[in-house]
A and B are shown apart, each in its own frame.
Chain A
Amino acid sequence: MRIEPPGKKHKPISLTPLVDVIFLLLLFFMLSSTFTNFGQVEIGAPASGGGTSSVPTAILVLDGELLRLNGTEIENDQMVERARILVDQKSHTLLVLTRKETTTQQLVTVLTRLKAVPGLKVTVAGGT
């Protein structure tokens, strides 16, 4: 009788191809994924669009870092409070007018802070 040696059957599987594939997957997911948190800010149709939109009852002028609400200069941290007072006085539409030197970052900051005021409708327009 011939007896086969029992050691041959338990030969371990080679792990190299497995490591290869896992490493490729890791590389793919590392390169193609992002950790940035994206957000969105809605920007309405420009006020110059036509007569459909109602006449704004208040104007906020953005001139670089300066803010002017209905002609009077206000501080950055006063803005939300002033906007709340405006809504209380039944003035629900605000036109944000931007001057030339204003950057997108400044506009976005103002828009997100105004979004916290309930009942206020904001439209954006470019000045000269």
Chain B
Amino acid sequence: MIKLTLKRDKKPLETTISLINIVFLMLIFFLVAGQLAPPLDPEVTLAQIEEIDPLPPPDALYVRKDGALVYREQPITAAAYLSEFEGEGDAEKTTIRLAADQGLTTDHLLKHVAALYQAGASRVVLVTQKSSP
């Protein structure tokens, strides 16, 4: 009688172990393969290129297709963004990461870039993504 009850206990345990195994493997996969990223603007589709100069997932300044400047889902102006940015780090090397929508017309884009340089940015970089084959 005692032996019978012991066997019943072991069976459900083994199924949970295999479940944990698989969940654990998935956890390791996502830990290693993914990169933690600040949320992307949902309305912006980045320009795609084949050969990239890699960049970690940026907390970028977004330009939507209609030409609106957006930072962390809030509309902002170039001067306001730069004054906020300079408060955080060194003012000498202010690299602005500008994530523009791929369908944005270049006169809008260049207007924003000019405004950023005028507000004191030392370098402006366009964020792109690698095109999927």
Contacts and interface: CB of A to CB of B under 8 A. Distances in A.
A76 interface: no
Output the residue of A22, A38, A40, A41 with the most chain B CB within 10 A: A38
Interface in A1-41: 12, 15-16, 18-19, 22-23, 25-26, 29-30, 32-41
A71 interface: no
B104 A104 contact: yes
Contacts of B30: 26, 29-30, 33
A22 B24 CA distance: 7
Interface string B87-103: 00000000001101111
A43 interface: yes
A109 B104 CA distance: 14
A101 interface: yes
Contact of B128 (A62, A100, A108): A108
Given A36-B129, A46-B113, A22 B27 contact: yes
B23 A100 contact: no
Contacts of B48: 105
Name the interface size band of chain A.
35 or more
A37 B124 CA distance: 19
A107 interface: yes
29 contacts: A15-B17, A25-B27, A26-B27, A26-B30, A29-B30, A29-B31, A30-B30, A33-B35, A34-B40, A35-B34, A36-B129, A38-B54, A38-B127, A39-B52, A39-B130, A40-B54, A40-B128, A43-B98, A43-B125, A62-B106, A100-B105, A103-B104, A103-B106, A104-B100, A104-B105, A108-B47, A112-B49, A112-B51, A126-B111
Interface of B: 13, 16-17, 19-20, 23-24, 26-27, 30-31, 33-37, 40, 46-58, 97-98, 100-107, 109-111, 113-114, 117, 123-130
